[in-house]
Structure 1
Amino acid sequence: MRRFVQRSVGMVTALAALSLPASAAIATPAGAAPGWTLDRVVVVMRHGVRPPTKAEALPEGLASAPWPAWDVGWGELSHHGEQAVALLGTFDRASYGGLLGSGCPAVRAVADSDQRTVRTAEVYVAALLPGCTVSVDHKATGETDPRFSSAGETSSLSSDQALAAANAALPRGGTAQLDHDLSPDWTSIDRILGCRAPACIAAHPTSLSTTGGKVKLGGALALGGSFSETLALEYADAQPMTDVGWGRVTRDEITRLLALHSWEFAVKARPPLIARAGAAALLDQVATALSAPDAPVFSVFVGHDTNMALIGGALGLHWHAPQFAVDDPPPGGALIFERWRSASGRYRLVLRFRSQSLEEMRTLAPLTPEALQPVIFAPCDDGIGCDAPGLRQALSSVEASRR
């Protein structure tokens, strides 16, 4: 039976406030002359820690024991996850307090329609602006939101285009070579699962297919990527180590296996042709939030790991959250778009990546300033910058590349 515990947003944000970090103000962009001022921030973040989206995280027969219980329904933001998200809001408040100022500034919060995304947005803005009321813009539960769904955009790709793009991300030799290269990971996973042949991971060769221009992964990589993510979520939720992977895994091994989750995105979401199509709708929202004269000074969009992977692939962005794999979007991880303005009216776009480590999620430790990393974005790098029209052009170039 799952444990259901009632916690208010007020309690969660109060806990976060007790751990307010001594975060320095955000630095002026490298290479910029004195007089640059931060005047707009847009945060695109993944929801917080959740259980698997269904009771059996993998097909029946792979795990030799029942899966651990969670304190919320499948796929929902966990109560521990709420507290971790509140720490993110507190950290961002400390980082961007100069922009937000005192009182209750205008902030826009948008979330996908799932409970985990809506609840993440609610907890985040409550910690970002304590004592203020910010309504979260979202569609009804279960309703597809085109701002976060890539289905409509990727349908513009043919199956051949999508499949060719995904195959190009594989090593020479394709899925067979990938499975061979990753065979030590399949062995580790089978040991953690307590799996016995012939139903184990290695007996399911990795496969690729497409539906409506969207790449579908099957077999070992899909199973292994999902399982590594489940292990990370159990650990981040502060479950007893006897329950994390049934007591058969360490944190360091979880980090190593998370490379499989990153591989999933490298194949199905980050290839540029796929990413530019899938990220277009959300990037258009980001561009508007950065360039529209009447947009608020701070906007946050709460979606999924796929949304972050698509944006990363579309814009050529790379990050590395502590104790995660390179380019893996962790729970609560965020891409932060900062618009800086000079005294003469010029603009510059700076990108950063913000994330907790696995251990910080588990222990609810306050984030340190190192949680905010610079991200290279070539169209608006330190030597070029982006003026006001250039902000939209740089982020909307994904559309132009498809014509």
Structure 2
Amino acid sequence: MTSKPWPQFNETCGYLTKKGFLLEGYMGKYFSQWLYKEDVLSKKCPLEEEFYVYANAIQRTLFSAKAFVNSAFPNCNITVHHVDKDKPDPIFSPYIHNSSAIFKKIALDEMKNVLNKLKLDLSYKIMEDILDYKNSDFCKLNNNCNMAADENKLDITVGKKPKLSGPLKICNEAVDEFMMAYYDGFPMTEVAWGRLNDTEQWRPILDLTASYHNVTFNTTHVANDLARPLIQYMADKFINKTSKIILLMGHDANINVFLKAMSFKFYSLEDSFVSTPIGGKIVFQKWYNENLNKYYLKINYVYQSDEQLREGHALSLKNPPKSTLLELKYCKVDENGFCPWDEFIEFLNSLI
């Protein structure tokens, strides 16, 4: 997609970086400090009834979970549960399940509707300039040198991810690399070849990756289909109380479809390029009000800011990650961000 040299990472493509392992460890250490402080955990090494971990078996998610628990509970030998590494995970793999022709037509129509409403000509032009796209192999071989005029193609196939090919996918992959280089601490001259030095320069290209995810994962029928196994798994844990604390380690795609399928209200994250930041955690908390003898739900998005990620700041109770309150459309919160637990469970049951 460019004739320019990309920054060289030491890791295999798609694997967790050394910096990523460090940052996930910081998050684990912070959470353990918080849980002990709140007396949710008491023992130095929690048993599985207290702390259970389930991760997708892909290397970067599996090692993210290991980094988290190794720092949260050093020398405790916490088991990270996962399926066979050679098989797609039934909970986390964002693959289409519904095989009906009606579903495919409705889902594709929804995706096309979002795609057709995008206004990205300026963003495409800026990306072409950053990549020097006119001298790229894609331009020379395919003679598709104008991203705004090139076609984005959609497809839905059972057992595979929703597919979007064309300029928007190319741009999403480029932005992924820019953000990885930024968070990994590469010199700014090596992040998009020195072209992204302030928020105003980042904004139009971030619109490209946000649009890609909105088309691919954030339409109603696709999100509901992809998220159903994860929602069913979580509902079972919420209702049957199998462990006091459960850590689920998946992808940003899991969070995207989960947020849509669960009807979360719009939110914005301070000091974050994207709405699903690297290493971020959606934290469901069950609280008990002794005076009212009632249980309540509170949900927060806990994440490291762009600066904390890039500079590799260690986290602690004195230097915590960022936290933003999240709200469900069908479970109204009070002034302190709590909604009735019974209403939440009733809503969950309606989804499964």
Contact 2:96 / 2:157 at 8 angstroms: preserved in 1? Answer: no
In structure 1, distance between residues paired with 2:62 and 2:305: 23
State yes or no: 1:148 paired with 2:92: yes
Point out where structure 2 has 5 or more consecutive residues left out of the alignment.
none
Contact 1:276 / 1:398 at 8 angstroms: preserved in 2? Answer: no
Compared CA separation, residues 320 and 313, structure 1 to 2 (3 A): same
Match of 1:394 among 329, 336, 347: 347
Contact 1:81 / 1:237 at 8 angstroms: preserved in 2? Answer: yes
Q: In the TM superposition, what are the counterparts of 1:56-205 in structure 2 within 5 Å? A: 62-97=1-36, 98=38, 99-105=40-46, 106-151=50-95, 153-155=97-99, 158-170=103-115, 174=116, 178=118, 181-196=119-134, 198-200=143-145, 201-205=147-151
Contact 1:150 / 1:278 at 8 angstroms: preserved in 2? Answer: yes
In structure 2, distance between residues paired with 1:300 and 1:186: 38
The one-letter code of the counterpart of 1:65 is K
**Secondary structure in 2 aligned to 1:130?**
coil
C-alpha displacement of 1:361: 0.8
2:152 is matched with 206
The one-letter code of the counterpart of 2:79 is S
Highest relative contact order (Cα 8 Å, sep 6+), 1 or 2? 1
The one-letter code of the counterpart of 1:277 is D
**Secondary structure in 2 aligned to 1:100?**
coil
- Indicate the larger mover: 231-240 or 200-209: 200-209
State yes or no: 1:358 paired with 2:306: yes
**Secondary structure in 2 aligned to 1:211?**
coil
Compared CA separation, residues 262 and 100, structure 1 to 2 (3 A): farther
Q: In the TM superposition, what are the counterparts of 1:2-401 in structure 2 within 5 Å? A: 62-97=1-36, 98=38, 99-105=40-46, 106-151=50-95, 153-155=97-99, 158-170=103-115, 174=116, 178=118, 181-196=119-134, 198-200=143-145, 201-212=147-158, 215-252=162-199, 253-293=201-241, 295-317=242-264, 318-325=266-273, 328-343=275-290, 345-367=293-315, 368-369=319-320, 371-383=322-334, 385-387=339-341, 390-399=343-352
Contact 1:288 / 1:392 at 8 angstroms: preserved in 2? Answer: no
Q: Which structure 1 residue ranges, 4+ long, deviate > 4 Å from structure 2? A: 367-370
The one-letter code of the counterpart of 1:282 is L
TM-score, normalised on structure 1? 0.74
* Percentage of identical aligned residues: 25
State how many pairs are aligned.
328
**Secondary structure in 1 aligned to 2:189?**
coil
In structure 2, distance between residues paired with 1:154 and 1:325: 33
TM-score, normalised on structure 2? 0.85
- Indicate the larger mover: 198-207 or 231-240: 198-207
In structure 2, distance between residues paired with 1:109 and 1:240: 35
Point out where structure 1 has 5 or more consecutive residues left out of the alignment.
1-61
The one-letter code of the counterpart of 1:336 is V
Deviations 1:62-102 (A, max 9, x none): 21123221111110000011111111112222333311234
Compared CA separation, residues 160 and 313, structure 1 to 2 (3 A): same
Contact 2:56 / 2:92 at 8 angstroms: preserved in 1? Answer: yes
Compared CA separation, residues 120 and 265, structure 1 to 2 (3 A): same
Compared CA separation, residues 205 and 238, structure 1 to 2 (3 A): same
1:48 is matched with none
Contact 2:94 / 2:253 at 8 angstroms: preserved in 1? Answer: no
Compared CA separation, residues 267 and 305, structure 1 to 2 (3 A): same
**Secondary structure in 1 aligned to 2:278?**
coil
